[in-house]
Structure 1
């Protein structure tokens, strides 16, 4: 579906600009973006997946042997080299072959996510002063979505919205948080499967509709904990329920941000007042979203609303999204990044107090003259009451 060769050709252009002969990439999100290969057995299992792109056009994947069949079906890279646990130096000999070939040249790595064990091995052949960073350049490439990515982003937004709808159908006083999570994931999985059947049959057998990761959710007095996970707490009448889909809502490896603060049984007036300000802050940030805007100006618009109402700024105004939980650029105070058409952001608003916290968040696509909601969903407080 994606034009991976075109993406790799842009990496080659960057290598030429930087004077590097080869890029060695290990961030699984970068590897997927450049090759289409994704697997469960990464460095956290002690099994490195290594992508190599040479300036003269050769593309290589060095992968665990148990992933060989899947890699060959997922990717169009020039060469796939398998290695086996505990045998013949594992991944080291094939990597050394390329290191030796380019030992007199400059080598680029994705520095911020490069595992130490591989970094140390490269350093045995390539002096550290001839190793540069390609990660930031890949981030810039990934920040502008192509038409295929935009389609997936829209579908990911649909999945997130269906997850919230599923959660809201079940949420009520006396219901456990984990039961709300189960309903959310079931609704998201069913909608993802429907979209895959309708739009992505050519991707078989790599359509994975299942929703993973623990759901960020908190209610009552626990709502002040930003990244609390759903648990054994029962929802209480008159208390808020916060549901965040960041890192949970995902469709075909594309992640979105989508948050709502709900009211269980009835509106909590203190929370409603805070939520009004959070929504106003998000609205101010969204008013700045357009091509040519500075990320720091989006942040400033959001922060001014929160501070003018006497609350501390709780977090950045948002972040870029794609084939990872978070990406470049951030909508942060010190960011000099300029927004461009085709970027996708989660844009948030929030307030914190001693008793409660509120947050609202949506994913948007930067368009020619503004933005498009990827997660269109009500902010009417009466519509956010669950379990009436």
Structure 2
């Protein structure tokens, strides 16, 4: 592997070993990977061709034997450069079913014509293969039992290695710096598009591969059309003094995401806005302080809801069902911070914790990127101010 490879071969071998342990527990003979994030996670191969909806790439990870990449011929050389996997097969790009035939041949060569093969059939991830192609694969292998393996992939990806955490840490540092520029330069008279463009450009200037999730929720005095709106895309509207802005931003550094929200007022802030900010800030701190390995993830939302109720917003707290999600190779990953979630927190998990509050005046939300450590937590993002910033 060359310098541009994602991680060391040892890292990928450990991932495959852990996957095989889960496969053995569930009686799965092989896992067929079709989606970009899982492909990158298990192989290290990175390509822009995932943007092309007509392009498919597959990884076959058997319980025993060597893993296999099945890709268009244009990607074979980059697989050799990027990936630790040595067995690479190609199929003509102009005929996607050729990829199906290559998968069929590989399964037969492994002696799994009557085996149990897991693939991405559920768990908030969609199989990246046209329905008719998957139908053809099932017809080619009529005695194979295709089952969902998405839960196995999510279970592995939920706990980040130290190398993955460093990627996330770098992505978060880029967003920290971009927000700092925003706080220095934002002013009445800028448009929403200019505001979000500033954040996007600052992410790119500091080494992000791409910015993402740059949305906002403004409170505009006396404008009922957008008061209480949730985060949305920017428009050409010009910012005015007295507005309170809830701004979401993030970016990607070498495949891994940052994602967190900040709030600020332009020029002046009402007492109602400052009070709402303090409530959300206190809820955020309560959830963060509840974070540690070995506790149910639902404890975080219970802590936030209890704080919100104690602040006089019990009716709103009763409606809250979730306050965040994991992140990594994708900006939104499971597990989710929801009261019905039975997942137990473990070292290496990374979350965005993001309680919010709708008031008569505004949509309010604060968010931090938080790592579960061996003894508790580490806030990766530069912590939000305890008081509403007035810029």
Structures share a fold, TM > 0.5? yes
Aligned-partner Cα distance in 2 for 1:325–1:289: 20
- Provide the rounded CA distance (Å) in 1 between the counterparts of 2:96 and 2:246: 51
3-state secondary structure, aligned to 2:206: helix
SS at 2:345's partner residue?
coil
Compared CA separation, residues 219 and 370, structure 1 to 2 (3 A): same
Q: Map Cα deviations across residues 35-71 of structure 1 (whole Å, 9 max, x no partner).
A: 1112232386121121111111321222233333322
Contact 1:240–1:268 (Cα < 8 Å) also in 2: no
2:247 is aligned with 1:243: yes
Instruction: Give the 3 Å change call, closer, same or farther, for CA 85–225 of structure 1 in structure 2.
Output: farther
The answer to whether the Cα contact below 8 Å between 2:212 and 2:252 also exists between their aligned partners in 1 is: no
Corresponding residue for residue 118 of structure 2: 108
Deviation at 1:214, TM superposition (A): 5.7
Kept in 2: contact 1:161–1:377 (CA 8 A) = no
SS of match in other structure, 1:224: coil
In the alignment, which residue of structure 1 is the partner of 2:174? Answer: 159
Output the TM-score relative to the length of structure 2: 0.87
Aligned residue for 1:14, secondary structure, equals: helix
User: Residue 50 of structure 1 is aligned with which of 38, 41, 58?
Assistant: 58
Alignment of 1:60 onto 2:59: no
Give the conservation status (yes or no) of the 8 Å contact 2:273–2:361.
no
- Residues 12, 57 of structure 1: 8 Å contact kept: no
* Counterpart residue number, 1:171: 186
Residue-pair matches, total:
367
Superposition map of 1:180-219 within 5 A: 180-192=195-207, 209-213=208-212, 215-219=214-218
2:49 aligns to what SS in structure 1? Answer: coil
- Could you say what secondary structure the match of 2:106 adopts? helix
Give the conservation status (yes or no) of the 8 Å contact 2:325–2:334: yes
Higher mean C-alpha displacement, 277-286 vs 162-171: 162-171
CA shift, 1:108, in A, is 0.9
Q: Normalising by structure 1, what TM-score? A: 0.88
Matches within 5 A, 1:176-325: 176-192=191-207, 209-213=208-212, 215-221=214-220, 222=226, 224-245=228-249, 248-308=250-310, 309-310=312-313, 311-312=316-317, 313-314=319-320, 316-325=322-331
Instruction: State whether residues 319 and 327 of structure 1, in contact with CA within 8 Å, keep that contact through their aligned partners in structure 2.
Output: yes
Q: How far apart are residue 129 of structure 1 and its match?
A: 7.8
Answering whether residue 93 of structure 2 is matched by residue 85 of structure 1, we say yes
Name the Cα RMSD after superposition: 2.2
